[in-house]
Amino acid sequence: MSSADHLTHLRCEYLVNPLGIDERVPRLSWQLASERRGARQTAYRILVASSLENLDAGTGDRWDSGRIESDQTTHVSYGGAALQSRGVCHWRVESYTDVGETLFSPPSFWTMGLLEKSDWTARWIAADPEILRRDPAAIVGTLTEPGTPACFQRSFEIRNAVKRATLYASARGVFELRANGARIGEDIFAPEWTDYEKRIHYRTYDVTRMLKAGANSLLFTLGDGWWSGYVGWQERRGRYGSLENSLLAQLEIEFADGSRQTITTDRAWQCATGPILSSDFMMGEIYDARREAGPDLPAIEVSAPHVSLVAQRAEPVRITETLEPVSRSEINPGVFLYDLGQNMTGWIRLRVEAPAGTRIQLRHGERLNPDGTLYTANLRRAKATDVYICRGDGVEVFEPHFTFHGFQYIELTASTPNAVCHTLYDKLQPRADAITGCVIHSATPPAGHFECSHAGVNRLWLNGLWSQRDNFLSVPTDCPQRDERLGWMGDAQVFFRTATCNMDVAAFFTKWMIDVEDAQTAEGVFPDVAPRLREDINYVGLGNLGGGAAWADAGVIIPYTFWRVYGDLRIVERHWNAMVKWLDWIERHNPDGLRLNKLANNYGDWLCIPSDTSFGTHSPMKNLLATAYWADDAAKMARLARALGRDAEAQRFQAMFERVRAAFQKAWLKPDGELAVTTQTAYLLALAFDLLPTEVRAQAAERLVDDLRALDWHLSTGFVGIGHLNPMLTLTGHTDVAYRLLLQESYPSWLFPVLQGASTIWERWDSWTIAGGFHKDGMNSFNHYSLGSVGEWLFRHVAGIELDPEESGYQKFVLRPFIGRGLDHARATYRTQHGEILSDWKLHGDQLTWTVRVPANCSAHIFIPSESDAPVTTDGLTLKSREGKFARCHAPAGTYTFTSTLRL
């Protein structure tokens, strides 16, 4: 027995103490933490109570599961009485361990949101257009100008002692909420991006401590956001709806004496313009600190949307880190350039001390031009410019409200009223603390960390992590800086496994898969971007048809991989019909088993070398790629159907896989293992998706290696092939080639951008080079995570932390590092839903020392790299067998150190 054993990481639907959920059967998870070898849970009991007092008394008046003989600690479905709107649920776990100890978790909780449409008594309100006409300082929100945010205010009295106060809020637009002058919550850009024609988020806030006896006030500011601002490659506002933003809010106050008071949005609210003159995600924000709220007029009531209001399922966007500049220079008189040392997403917190009316302009960019000025050519239509006009009453601090930028460099300039211009130059020298970078993204918790003996590889992994953070903002976007920022599905699926290694993205992708299904057409076609853009818009020839091979297929790939990583079948169950419709559509339009139809987009192996970026052309490579993805979709669906107990569908999709596989071989496979299409990605997909007969797999892998050798050990893969490159080389016996590619420093390679100074993953290997400068194409993002999908190989194969081939969710897993020349040390930690795994190996000459940690309540198959003619020290474990250059054993929970001989 160990008193150090304890329960931790209590979660409800992947979230910590979530407020206002609308999942009627939420799932609960926890972790057993212990340093004991073999520590495991043998049974559990869950108590859910309506009050903390009941929970403390051991009374589960909402649910008492009783003692359940099980080692399950994840996805335990609530089994109590039906949950109602506004319900408060306090819960804890009793865990019974293998040594007879009973552990009690700390209390946790969740609350229910407004589950029925009738729970909403508030009215949707909007600003009276008269406030803009009467306010000449406001920039009227026309088609071509950013909108002017409106302020909504309501005062009210509280006469009794407040027991509980809950605010529910939604908007067409994005809001910032304040009660009695203090900001409500830490959310940014709420409610977050959805297909507004299908559903709109609402958020729930506990404001109990923000209210006071006597007079109180609410002030809500409403900006464009995704609803009416610039989204995608557009020349005007309002792609998703009208230019009219609107607000819905309901404050419910419970008093100690049992009485209630409800404050709702209606025409009794006052609306006004305020200090924000204009604000847009892509264009930036103009803020005049001299202005108070403008002329007050009653708000107008507007029609409610004809879609559901749903609780947000993922972590909100928040500031997660701040960065200080690493340098400042005055590039021209009064023009100051700051370098934050890291490409990031967010905005600048400005500190300034200047006379009233001084205009501070902040321009944002990812790189510098050769002359040292700010590079903005790749922003295209995004202006990415913020302006602050000073009050002039001492030190002023400004942060934008409804905009964000992708940048590393900031250009600061100041202009002043003419009357004082001759005196201001010295005074306008920026303060030493003038600039702070505020990093924002969806606040997904950290999961993994990787480091090794090669500084460039460490930077490569970190670049992938930064690009993930910078682009996971409500949806997995392609880039944060230019006039695009869309949820491209191909980018998301190729990076998804890497993303799970870096951060806990379970709640984030649970939300996004709803966007994906919302965007599916009635015929079954998954989109290429989610949320889908409006049907009446055609973007640079892409249209909205969707169906792009490797892009639309994310609708199957992500639920499948989600299940494998998180052990969660509910996401598959909920999207199963949509996934079936997609496969039915492909089969219906491709009766011969080859995916050749002209009714869908096909981007091929996007940005491969040489690059083919045409959207609609169906070349042999694109047809091969599309067919390969169809086969892989079918194979995944067959396995998922078996996991769901859908035997007939499992047989159907297995037969579909076999038929497409046979068609693939007939069309493109030659007898000697050569493919008719000889690109690296063609071989990689054929190998990764099991499209080749067993007898020619080794030959096909040799063809791949021959291609790499012919290119002097350089890759030529694009977005689709890159994630499969090193894993397939490793698993086909070419670990040495995988390491050689990893450590390649010349173009094109993973380390090439690192050596050009990259601090994020670039869209192109050569977005900028020391020798040649900027890539001339306007599609030149310096923050695009797709080519960083090598991250999963670093965790899965270099560190060796891998899923069990038969078990999902890492309660049972594999530890098997593949070690090659060029690294003599690698260490990775990965926090799964069950606890943190460690793999830490060091190679001194031919002597390997490897330390691993298997979390409590877990077990692992251990494969120790070793020579068959030398002894292996197993730290008390029993060797079971040998498999090539690995000695195999099985490990229960605990920390172990192995030593062996390994000759590379």
Residues annotated as part of the active site: 484, 763
Retrieve residue 325's tokens. Answer: 């500049």
CA distance 510 to 740: 37
Residue 173 to residues 78, 246, 305, Cα–Cα distance (Å): 34, 7, 13
Return d(Cα 563, Cα 574) in angstroms, integer: 12
284-288 and 41-49 beta bridge pairing: unpaired
Tell me how long the chain is.
904
Interatomic CA distance for residues 93 and 857, integer angstroms: 15
Residue pair 531/195 in contact (Cβ under 8 Å)? The answer is: yes
Q: Is 884 exposed, middle or buried (0-12, 13-18, 19+ CB in 10 A)?
A: exposed
Question: What is the dihedral angle through the alpha carbons of 301, 307, 313, 314, rounded to the nearest 10 degrees?
Answer: -70
What's the token pair of residue 769? Answer: 């080079």
- E strands, 70-124, are 76-77, 88-97, 102-104, 108-111
* Residues 408, 463: Cα–Cα separation, whole Å: 13
- Please give the structure tokens belonging to residue 683: 């071989």
Q: How many CB atoms lie within 10 A of CB 288?
A: 18
How many C-beta atoms lie closer than 10 Å to residue 643's C-beta? 16
Compute the CA torsion angle 159, 160, 162, 163 (nearest 10 deg).
-160
> Residue 156 belongs to what H/E stretch?
strand 150-158
Closest by CA position to 113, among listed 185, 169, 171 = 169
- H or E element, residue 249: strand 246-255
What is the DSSP secondary-structure string of 829-852? EEE-SS-EEEEEEEEETTEEEEEE
Q: Is the dihedral of CA 815, 821, 826, 830 positive or negative?
A: negative
The C-alpha atoms of residue 705 and residue 680 are separated, in whole angstroms, by 9
Tell me the two tokens of residue 631. 């086969």
- The DSSP code for 166 is E
Cα(239)–Cα(538) distance, integer angstroms: 11
- Would you state the structure tokens that stand for residue 560, as one six-digit string? 């499948």
Q: 655: which 2 tokens? A: 């037969």
Task: Check: CB of residue 315 under 8 Å from CB of residue 436.
Answer: no
Bridge pairing between strands 886-901 and 879-883? antiparallel
Q: What does the alpha-carbon distance between residue 266 and residue 20 come to, in Å, rounded to a whole number?
A: 22
In this structure, what token pair is assigned to residue 165? 């106060």
876: Cβ–Cβ under 8 A, 6 or more apart, which residues?
896
Go through 764-777 and write b for each residue having 16 or more CB atoms within 10 A of its CB, e for each that does not.
Answer: bbbbbeeeeebbee
